[in-house]
Amino acid sequence: MHETTLLLIEVGALLLAMSLLGRLALLLGISPIPFYLVLGLAFGNGGLVELDASAEFFQAGAEIGVILLLALLGLEYTAAELFGSLKSARTAGLFDALLNALPGAAMALLLGWGPVAAVALAGVTWVSSSGVIAKLLRDLGRLSNRETPAILAVLVIEDLAMAFYLPVLSAIVIGVSLLQGAIAVAVAVGVVALILYVALRHGHVVSRLFPADQYEPLLLGVLGLTMLVAGVAAEVGVSAAVGAFLVGIALSGRVAENASTVLTPLRDLFAAIFFVFFGLTTDSTALVSVVLPALALAIVTIITKLITGAYAARRAGVGTLGQWRAGLSLVPRGEFSIVIAGLAVGAGVAPELAPLATAYVLITILAGTFLARLPEVGWFRAAVLRKRRTGTAT
């Protein structure tokens, strides 16, 4: 069979299956993310049938999915709101790094993998998944909630910190010189500063580049600018997601409103592809031997992320239920964790780190998808409110 024909068949079958699973998730009243992951596992490495022809398509689609998720999330906020949240969340960001990196480092040392692997696994457990969390917030209708800016501030701080962390990790595991690592960090920080400056000071100028009421050029222009900035950001060692998010922040008024409308269907398509691709690239047979340490690590770091999110939301003046929502929303890890593990393993550091990181990410995504809904459950809300009243009375 011709390769293009096989590609069409594989992509068409997966998209159809995704549609059916998405409908099932809606009927059950849950997020479709776990279903997409399981679908990917079923047809990836070690699955029922391994699909090869569509791998490159899904890889490119997954990268676009993360970019669109963060770009549309950025469209919900202004630059002033972002900077206000970042200023209030500086302490929470430091607290987040310490509290969530330490369990990963400790696990690597307990397993006897050495200090270099400890630095890598610390990064795996530290950084939450912007892509997964952005979709969860949208699925749960929480984009306008009071705790959401605090969540986003923590995510942005984490992604910006990767501009420092990844070059340093590369220097450690690959043997890059200290000078080369310092130059990479300086370039990354400079690009982030430039994008932040344009978003804050000249966002209105950027918005004027696009016709607010002409949907076709608006769609092409905003999508093109988003992917261009995300690509440049990734090239200099900054998260592509951060670049896309800042483009969304820079746009305002009717341009932002209508851009959100025309880009939403594309985001939904490629975001779903992102989660299926994650499953497709996971070797399910390699996960069995690392399930227990991954589960133990997930339990500890679910608790630490809960503490982090609650702390950030409390500093922002959010109530008790909002603090729970913030903490539980930050549970999923994702794209950065896999990149970090791949970088370490590719340099010959602890081959077992890759399946452990993959199992850990899958567990936190699955757990986080369900835990994020917990504050909306009647008995949980009642228990939290009852405890708050009791604490106030005492």
- Segment 119-143, tens digit of pLDDT: 999 999 999 988 788 888 888 888 8
Residues 58-86 have pLDDT tens digits of 888 888 988 888 788 778 777 676 677 66
Do 97 and 308 touch, CB atoms closer than 8 A?
no
**pLDDT reported for residue 33:** 76
* Lowest pLDDT segment from 26-30, 248-252, 365-369: 26-30
Q: In the 8-state DSSP scheme, what is residue 288?
A: G
The answer to whether residues 212 and 260 touch, using CB atoms and an 8 Å cutoff, is no
Decide if pLDDT at 9 tops 70: yes
What integer pLDDT is reported at residue 63 of this predicted model?
86
Q: How many helices (H) and strands (E) does the chain have?
A: 18, 0
Q: What percent of the chain has pLDDT over 90?
A: 25
Q: What is the mean pLDDT of residues 216-238?
A: 87
Of 12-16, 207-211, 221-225, 308-312, which gets the smallest average pLDDT? 207-211
pLDDT of residue 345: 75
Residues 202-209: what's their mean pLDDT? 80
Are 74 and 143 spatial neighbours (Cβ–Cβ below 8 Å)?
no
Cα 176 from Cα 89, distance rounded (Å): 32
Q: What percent of the chain has pLDDT over 70?
A: 89
Per-residue pLDDT reduced to its tens digit, 273-290? 887 887 777 777 777 888
Pick the CATH number of 3-374 from 3.30.1330.10, 1.10.10.60, 1.20.1530.20, 3.40.50.300: 1.20.1530.20
> Residue 200: which of 74, 312, 114 has the closest Cα?
74
Mean pLDDT of 23-41: 80
pLDDT tops 50 at residue 394: no
Q: Is the pLDDT of residue 372 over 80?
A: yes
For residue 3, give the amino acid letter. Answer: E
Domain borders along the chain are: 3-374
Q: Are 367 and 298 in contact (CB under 8 A)?
A: yes
Least confident of 40-44, 300-304, 342-346: 342-346
More confident position, 299 or 350: 299
Mean pLDDT score across all residues of the chain: 83
pLDDT of residue 175: 63
Which pLDDT does position 393 carry in this prediction?
45
Q: Which two tokens stand for residue 383?
A: 């228990």
196 contacts: CB under 8 Å, gap ≥ 6 = 246
The reported pLDDT for the residue numbered 310 is 94
Distance CA 158, CA 131 (A): 13
Please write the tens of the pLDDT for every residue from 381-392: 888 877 766 655
Residue 248 has pLDDT above 50, yes or no: yes
User: DSSP class of residue 376?
Assistant: G
Q: Note the pLDDT tens digit of each residue in 170-200.
A: 777 766 566 666 776 677 677 777 777 777 7
State residue 326's pLDDT score.
94
